[in-house]
A and B are shown apart, each in its own frame.
Chain A
Amino acid sequence: MTYWAVNAVFLAIVAVVGVLALVTAAVRGRAARASSSPGASTRRRREAVLGAGIATGVLLVMTAVFDNVMIGIGLVGYDAARISGVFVGIAPLEDFAYAVAALVLLPSVWVLLGGPKAPRAPRTASAAAATAAAAASKEARS
C-alpha cells in the first residue's frame, strides 16, 4: 500500500466528519437565523470563510517549513518505493495530508461537540434582551 492510498482512507474519514459538521452547522444556523438579523449571519459566514482561508494558508506554509526541517535533521525517514516522489523541498507532498486533515477534522469535531444548546439560547425573548442589553452597555462603554 502506498502513502497516498493510506492517506485516501484517512482523508475519506475526515471528509465524512466534515460533511456531518457542515450539515449540523447549517441546521443550527437556520434555527439561529430566525432570531438574528440576516446581515449578522452573512457576516458570520464571511468571517468563517476568510478566517479558514487565512489559517489554511498559514498552516500549509508552516508544514512546508517545519516538515523540511524535521526531515532534514533526520527525525523521520520514508520508503522511497511507497511515496509518489512529488516533493516540496525534501518533504513528500503526502505529508501535507496531515495538515489538511487537521484543518477539517478538528474544527468539525469542535462543531459537533457544541450541542444544540448554544445556538438555541438567544431564541428566548429574555436571553435575546439580555444579549442586546450587554451589547448596548458594551457600546456605551467604548
Chain B
Amino acid sequence: MGFVYLAALLVSLFGMVVLDRRFRLFFWRDVPRAAVTLLVGVVFFLIWDVVGIDLGIFFRGETSFMTGVLVATELPLEEVFFLTLLCYLTMNLLAGARMVAAVVLDRRGSSTAVAGDPAAARSTDGASS
C-alpha cells in the first residue's frame, strides 16, 4: 500500500488551509457558505468522474503510489481528496488573485492620479471585499 499520493494531497490541502487562514480567502470569509460550495463542487466532479469511468474513458492507473482503497468501481480514495484540493485551490486562487488585482489597480491608479494617496487607496481594499 502506497501512501505517497495521499500524503502529497493532504500536505497540499494543509497548505490551502494555511493560506485560507492567513489571507481570509474561503472558509475564513464564511464557513457555511464555503462548506456548501466545496461540497457541491466535489460531488459534481465525482459524478463527472463516475460517468467517465462507467463509459470507460479513463481508469485508475496501476501504480504503487496509491493506497488501493476504492470508494467506487475504479475510483480511488485519493480522487476524493484530489477533487477537494482542486475546488479549495480554485476558490483560494480566485480570492487571492482578486487581492492581487486590487493592488495592481491601486498602483496603476496612484501612478496616474496627481493627488493619489496610496495609503488611503490601500485602506479601502479590505472594506470592498
Contacts and interface: CB of A to CB of B under 8 A. Distances in A.
A6 B48 contact: yes
Interface string A33-67: 00000001001101110111111001100100000
A85 interface: no
A82 B57 contact: yes
B1 interface: no
B128 A55 contact: no
A98 B47 CA distance: 12
Interface residues of B, number: 48
A64 to B, nearest CB: 14
A82 B86 CA distance: 24
B127 A138 contact: yes
Contacts, number: 144
A6 B52 contact: yes
Contact of B123 (A1, A73, A139): A139
Contacts of A75: 5, 60-61, 63, 65-66, 78
Given A46-B105, A79-B57, A113-B33, 10 more contacts: A6-B55, A50-B105, A58-B97, A75-B5, A77-B58, A79-B58, A83-B57, A102-B41, A107-B91, A142-B119
12 contacts: A46-B101, A47-B102, A83-B57, A99-B90, A102-B45, A106-B87, A106-B91, A107-B91, A107-B94, A109-B37, A114-B33, A142-B119
